[in-house]
Amino acid sequence: MKHLFSGALLAAAVAAAPFGAAYAEINELKIVAPAAPGGGWDQTARSIQHVLQSDKLVGNVQVLNVPGAGGTIGLAQFVNSSKGDPNVMIVGGYVMVGAIITNKSPVDLSMVTPIARLTGEYEAIAVPAASPLKSLADLVAALKADPQKVSWAGGSAGGTDHITAGLFTKAIGVDPRKVNYIAFSGGGESLASLLGGKVTVGISSLSEYDAQAKAGKLRILGVSSAARLPEAPDVPTFKEAGVDVEIQNWRMIAAAPGITPEQKQELSQTIEKMVKSKAWTDMLAQKGWANTYLSGEAFDAQLAKDIAATKTILQDIGLAQ
């Protein structure tokens, strides 16, 4: 009778719960953003934080910023301190792939548990509003005249920004080894340098320049997409200026090394629910990010291909041996 009574109480409690009520599947989660506040990884981590909490997929989500060396400092800390912990994840992506190779990092993405590729975003080249460079054609002319006089502000050495600057320069017939690239650990620092007129051009993900461009403080010269983007219809592509470069920066999320298959599955299912939510779809639209969601064995295979391709690109432009 005691068991029957307890069962009746449980049934009554479930029946009394509001229809459609959601309860967090994971109590706590910490997400490492391996960069300074303001950049793409930080924005990605905080967007994940917002959606996981608002949709009650996770009870409490904290974001921890660990900047430096293209994410490899944060990656090393994550690998060394989080083994077997299912409540810690890290944001990464194409930038980290390049930085691992360029910095000859002792830790790499084989030491984490990949969960999913989440978003993709095209690269943009921007200048201060007062810059004499009015178009990509002007930038091409300046680079051909003297590439050393054109300073580029971007993310970490060997990352997507650096790779794109090298590919852009190579595509116009200028030695990419002569690119005068100044690396910053966070998007906020790079943007401040550009707005302060300390560099000639800035190169970063399109969303990182959007607000300042709309405010009239920056002019976006071009974007690395195959066709003009709906969120920036007035911005020409590199290809329109005769520069045959198309590249997309993607971002991912990974779990700690040494977690169990069951823990990986739970985290994967939670991230999949987030990606399929309206809140996430709205967030992507707001940020101008493309949904490039890929998980499981398909993502593992694609990640391996991207690592191999990135090493080849870095060798071609003189950033790796």
Written as one string, the DSSP assignment of 24-78 is -SEEEEEEEE-S-TTSHHHHHHHHHHHHHHHTTSEEEEEEEE---GGGHHHHHHH
Please give the pLDDT value at position 191. 94
Q: Look at residue 23 and tell me whether its pLDDT is greater than 60.
A: no
Instruction: Please tell me the distance from the alpha carbon of residue 250 to that of residue 181, in angstroms, as a whole number.
Output: 21
271-290 per-position pLDDT tens digit: 999 999 999 999 999 888 89
CB atoms within 10 A of CB 71: 33
Interior angle at CA 306, CA 303 and CA 222, nearest 5: 125
Separation between Cα atoms, residue 48 and residue 46, nearest integer Å = 5
Would you state the pLDDT for residue 316? 85
- What was the pLDDT predicted at 96? 93
**Nearest Cα to Cα of residue 45 among 85, 82, 15, 74:** 74
Does residue 221 carry a pLDDT above 90?
A: yes
Contacts of 255 (CB under 8 A, 6+ apart): 86, 88, 89, 112, 113, 115, 263, 264, 267
Least confidently predicted of 178-192, 207-221, 245-259: 178-192
The yes-or-no verdict on residue 18 having pLDDT over 80 is no
Residue 5 pLDDT: 34
The Cα 317–Cα 227 span in angstroms is 25
pLDDT interval class at 186 (50, 70, 90)? low
Q: What percent of the chain has pLDDT over 70?
A: 92
Across residues 8-34, what is the average pLDDT?
Answer: 60
Q: Which domains does the chain have, with CATH numbers?
A: 29-120+250-316 (3.40.190.150), 121-248 (3.40.190.10)
pLDDT digits (tens, 9 = 90+) for 24-40: 679 999 999 999 888 78
d(CA 271, CA 128): 38
* β-bridge partners, 257: none
pLDDT at res. 288 = 81
Check pLDDT > 70 for residue 9: no
Q: Determine the 3-state secondary structure of 105 from DSSP.
A: coil
- Residue pair 82/88 in contact (Cβ under 8 Å)? The answer is yes
| 257 class by beta-carbon count within 10 Å (0-12 exposed, 13-18 middle, 19+ buried) | middle
- CA distance to 56, 59, 262, per residue, from 24 (Å): 5, 5, 18
Between CA 242 and CA 70 the distance in angstroms is 30
| Per-residue pLDDT at 155 exceeds 90 | no
Report which of 252, 246, 265, 233 is spatially closest to residue 292, judged by C-alpha positions.
252
Tokens 């709205």 correspond to what residue? 282
In this prediction, residues 101-129 reach a mean pLDDT of: 96
In the predicted model, what is the mean pLDDT of residues 170-178? 94
Q: Give 22's pLDDT tier (boundaries 50, 70, 90).
A: very low
Give pLDDT, residue 24: 66
State the pLDDT at residue 15.
Answer: 38
Cα–Cα distance, 240 to 175 (Å, whole number): 21
Please determine, for residue 61, whether its predicted confidence score (pLDDT) is greater than 90: yes
pLDDT in tens, 76-109: 999 999 999 999 999 999 989 999 999 899 999 9
User: How many residues does the structure list for the chain?
Assistant: 321
Q: Is the pLDDT of residue 21 over 70?
A: no
pLDDT of residue 252: 98
